[in-house]
């Protein structure tokens, strides 16, 4: 019998495409071939500079009277931004603990027109086959060049101690050409944008940064759990994942480990206690690392990826959580150095049985910083910047800067910058010989560069 073969019709082609799409899902775990799923996570990063004081004053000035209005707007906006980002802060221009002093160095804008040579195309006829023929020819086009530059320097100081906590120079520069002037912004728009930029950069230094990001969710055998993550129920997502047995193939189980890392990372940012955040992020780091080791071929474990709900590009999970760990470990070091230094000093003073060099600060008072506290911090491995922060933040300091005191600091491997700072503080506020004598007010000490506490 003669058989007749029909060409593949639309239904056959549709079935073939469906089979091709379904194949990756049957092949194993993953993020999906065509359709991916994601969940939102509110990421919180610690500030670069830790302020323990609450009462702030913002002062913005300019040497050019033409910028008086801009300086006033800059000041109000920065104050508002800091308070909205960290609700601990209150504006107190009369009795501030921390002063943010900003000086506008330059506010300059301009525009100009210039002619540029470009090539245009025009039809010049048809060829032998009847197709259109084109040629290029030069044309002169007018462009509007718009520019603006805002430059400022700022300094953050502890008012009571006269110490510098942070300082830097900032610039917001803009220059762009607009063909025939179409879409060119006005000078006021550029000035507003520049102020917004500098205010945001200063505020990010002094307050925690918050951003909404997307995390990709594994599908395959874990797809049924995705609604918990998309609903923000990260505790339940984590519990469900922990009940799952590891998959037989390490490359497949890598997605379960990745999902565990995602849950721990989300819970870490949501924790109110920085110590809890650090513990969660360390777990996330461990699971992300395990996923990457088990399946190094999965690009979404190690490469930046584009969001599904937005067009933003997000850093790879392993790098993202590593960066967060650096910030939160710095925060923990600062808190430990600040809160533990006094306790160490008190314990050391008690053990000394009355040794003046160890008790120096006390007379029983809390929160005082002395040589023993500094030595304890250095021996505990705290960094030089953390020690300087603790000195700057201590409400009372009684340092022994006699020859014996300085020798003891040097033998304990206390760095020269810290010893110089101790001498500066001690020379401004020396301990009285009489217990009931009033202390003289401290003289402002010279700035020692950037510190990270108040």
Whole-structure pTM over 0.75, yes or no?
no
Can you give the pLDDT at residue 338?
64
Nearest alpha-carbon partner for 228 in 213, 220, 217: 217
Percent of the chain with pLDDT over 90: 57
Contact 285, 326 (CB under 8 A): no
331-373 pLDDT, tens digit each: 887 777 666 555 554 555 455 444 443 333 333 334 578 888 8
Would you say residue 39 has pLDDT above 80? yes
118-128 pLDDT, tens digit each: 999 999 999 98
Average pLDDT score over the chain: 83
Can you give the pLDDT at residue 376?
79
Can you give the pLDDT at residue 392?
83
Lowest mean pLDDT among 125-134, 199-208, 393-402: 393-402
Measured distance between the N- and C-terminal CA atoms of the chain, rounded to whole angstroms: 95
Can you give the pLDDT at residue 263?
97
Cα 30 to Cα 299: distance, rounded to the nearest angstrom: 11
Helices (H) and strands (E) in the chain, counts: 14, 11
Q: What are the angstrom distances between the C-alpha of 94 and each of 57, 353, 382?
A: 8, 44, 35
Strand 209-217 to 305-306 pairing = unpaired
What is the average per-residue pLDDT within 396-405?
84
Confidence grade of residue 19 (pLDDT, cut at 50, 70, 90): very low
Strand 98-126 to 55-62 pairing = parallel
Can you give the pLDDT at residue 161?
81
Give residue for tokens 């609903």.
231
Question: Mind giving me the DSSP string for 340-404?
Answer: HHHHHHHHHHHHHTS-HHHHTT-TT-SSEE-HHHHHHHHHTT--HHHHHHHHHH-SEE----SHH
For the chain, the domains span 31-45+220-315, 55-207, 340-428
Compute, in degrees rounded to 10, the torsion defined by CA atoms 20, 22, 23, 24: 110
What is the average per-residue pLDDT within 92-116?
96
Give 300's contacts (C-beta < 8 A, 6+ positions apart): 31, 216, 316
Lowest mean pLDDT among 88-102, 263-277, 396-410: 396-410
Q: Please give the DSSP secondary-structure letter assigned to residue 249.
A: S
User: Taken in order 223, 224, 228, 230, is the CA torsion positive or negative?
Assistant: positive
Can you give the pLDDT at residue 287?
97
Would you say residue 102 has pLDDT above 60? yes
Contact 17, 210 (CB under 8 A): no
Q: Residue 339 CB: number of other CB atoms within 10 A?
A: 13
179-197 pLDDT, tens digit each: 999 999 999 999 999 999 9
What is the average per-residue pLDDT within 435-439?
37
Cα 181 to Cα 407: distance, rounded to the nearest angstrom: 70
Percent of the chain with pLDDT over 70: 81
Lowest mean pLDDT among 26-30, 144-148, 204-208, 350-354: 350-354
Confidence grade of residue 450 (pLDDT, cut at 50, 70, 90): very low
Confidence grade of residue 24 (pLDDT, cut at 50, 70, 90): very low
Q: What are the angstrom distances between the C-alpha of 73 and each of 92, 204, 390?
A: 18, 19, 34
Can you give the pLDDT at residue 434?
35
Nearest alpha-carbon partner for 44 in 257, 202, 267, 258: 267
What does the block give as tokens for 208? 């925690």
Q: What are the angstrom distances between the C-alpha of 406 and each of 385, 400, 403, 412?
A: 19, 7, 5, 10
Can you give the pLDDT at residue 361?
35
Q: Comparing 25 with 144, which gets the higher pLDDT?
A: 144
Can you give the pLDDT at residue 339?
60
Cα 139 to Cα 118: distance, rounded to the nearest angstrom: 5
Can you give the pLDDT at residue 427?
82
What is the average per-residue pLDDT within 191-204?
96
Would you say residue 406 has pLDDT above 60? yes
Whether CATH 3.30.160 fits 55-207: yes
Lowest mean pLDDT among 58-67, 115-124, 433-442: 433-442
284-317 pLDDT, tens digit each: 999 999 999 999 999 999 999 998 888 899 999 9
Can you give the pLDDT at residue 395?
76
């Amino acid at each position: 019998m003669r058989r007749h073969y029909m060409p593949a019709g639309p239904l056959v082609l549709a079935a073939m495409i469906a089979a091709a799409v379904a194949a990756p899902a049957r092949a194993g775990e993953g993020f999906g071939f065509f359709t991916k799923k994601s969940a939102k996570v509110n990421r919180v990063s610690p500030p670069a500079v830790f302020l323990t004081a609450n009462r702030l004053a913002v002062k913005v000035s300019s040497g050019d009277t033409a910028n008086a209005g801009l300086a006033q707007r800059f000041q109000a906006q920065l104050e508002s931004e800091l308070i909205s980002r960290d609700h601990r802060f209150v504006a107190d221009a009369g009795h501030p603990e921390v002063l943010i002093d900003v000086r506008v160095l330059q506010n300059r804008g301009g525009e100009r027109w210039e002619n540029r040579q470009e090539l245009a195309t025009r039809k010049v006829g048809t060829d032998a086959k009847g197709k259109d023929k084109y040629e290029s020819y030069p044309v002169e086009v007018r462009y509007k060049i718009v520019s603006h530059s805002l430059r400022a320097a700022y300094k953050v100081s502890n008012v009571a101690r006269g110490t510098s906590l942070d300082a830097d120079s900032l610039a917001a520069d803009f220059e762009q050409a607009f063909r025939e002037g179409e879409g060119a912004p006005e000078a006021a728009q550029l000035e507003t944008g520049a102020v917004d930029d500098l205010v945001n950069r200063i505020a990010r230094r002094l307050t925690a940064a918050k951003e909404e990001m997307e995390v990709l969710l594994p599908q395959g055998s874990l797809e049924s759990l995705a609604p918990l993550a998309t609903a923000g129920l990260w505790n339940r997502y984590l519990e469900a994942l922990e009940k799952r047995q590891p998959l037989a193939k390490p490359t497949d189980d890598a997605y379960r480990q990745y999902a565990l890392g995602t849950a721990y990372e989300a819970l870490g940012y949501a924790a109110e206690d920085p110590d809890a955040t650090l513990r969660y992020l360390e777990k996330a780091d461990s699971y992300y690392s395990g996923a990457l080791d088990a399946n190094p071929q999965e690009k979404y474990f190690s490469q930046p990826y584009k969001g599904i709900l937005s067009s933003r590009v997000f850093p790879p999970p392993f790098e993202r959580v590593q960066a967060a760990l650096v910030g939160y470990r710095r925060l923990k070091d600062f808190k430990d150095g600040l809160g533990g230094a006094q306790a160490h000093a008190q314990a050391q003073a008690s053990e000394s049985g009355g040794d003046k060099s160890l008790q120096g600060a006390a007379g029983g008072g809390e929160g005082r910083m002395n040589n023993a506290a500094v030595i304890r911090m250095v021996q505990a491995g705290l960094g030089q910047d953390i020690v300087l922060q603790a000195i700057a933040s201590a409400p009372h300091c009684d340092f022994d800067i006699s020859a014996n005191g300085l020798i003891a600091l040097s033998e304990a491997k206390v760095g020269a910058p810290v010893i110089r700072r101790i001498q500066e503080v001690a020379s401004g506020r020396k301990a009285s010989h009489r217990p009931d004598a009033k202390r003289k007010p401290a003289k402002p000490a010279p700035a020692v560069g950037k510190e990270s506490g108040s």
